[in-house]
Amino acid sequence: MIVGDLLHLDDLDIRLAWGTPELLARQITGVTSTDLQDPARYLQPGELVLTGLVWWQPEDGSAALRFATALRSARVAALMAGEGTHGAVPASLAEACRTHGIPLLAVPSGTSFRAVTDRVYLRLWGGLQAGVPDAAAIPEAARRELAGLIHSGAQAAEVLAHAVSRLGVPECSVSTTGGRVIAEPPAAAAEVPAGRVAGTGSGTGSALPVGPQENSPFDGWLLHGGPAAEGADTPMLRGLADLLAPLAARAHAEAAARRQAAGRLLGLLAVDGPADLAEALAACGLPAEGPLVTVAARIDGGPDDWAAYALAEALHPLGVPFAAGTDPAGRTAALVAAPAARVAERLRRARSALQARLTGRRSLRAGVGPASPAAAGPLRAALVQARYVLAGAAGPIGSTAELDSLAGLLRGIPPEVTAAFHSRLLAPLAAHDGENAVSLLGTLTVFLDHDGSWARTAESLHIHVNTVHYRIRRIEELTGRNLARLQDRLDLRAALLCAPAGR
Amino acid (1-letter code) at residue 124: L
What's residue 313's pLDDT?
A: 94
Mention every residue, 6+ apart, whose C-beta is less than 8 A from residue 279. Answer: none
pLDDT computed for residue 78 by the predictor: 97
Residue range 303-335, pLDDT digits in tens: 888 999 999 999 999 999 999 999 988 899 999
How many whole angstroms separate alpha carbon 372 and alpha carbon 377?
9
Q: What is the dihedral sign for C-alpha 69, 70, 76, 79?
A: negative
Which of the residue ranges 129-133, 143-147, 185-189 would you say has the lowest mean pLDDT?
129-133
Q: How confident is the model at residue 234 (pLDDT cuts 50, 70, 90)?
A: low
Top-ranked range on mean pLDDT: pick from 128-132, 201-205, 474-478: 474-478
pLDDT > 70: percent of the chain: 87
Residue 310's pLDDT is what? 95
pLDDT of the residue at 128? 43
| Prediction pTM value | 0.64
What pLDDT score does 286 carry? 95
Burial (0-12, 13-18, 19+ Cβ within 10 Å), 175: buried
- The average pLDDT across 451-474 equals 94
Q: Say if residue 346's pLDDT is above 70.
A: yes
Mean pLDDT over 215-230 rounds to 75
Contact yes or no for 347/266 (Cβ under 8 A): no
pLDDT, residue 115, reads 81
Say which amino acid occupies 313: E
Strands 292-300 and 332-336: antiparallel
Q: How far is CA 9 from CA 2, 94, 115, in A?
A: 12, 22, 10
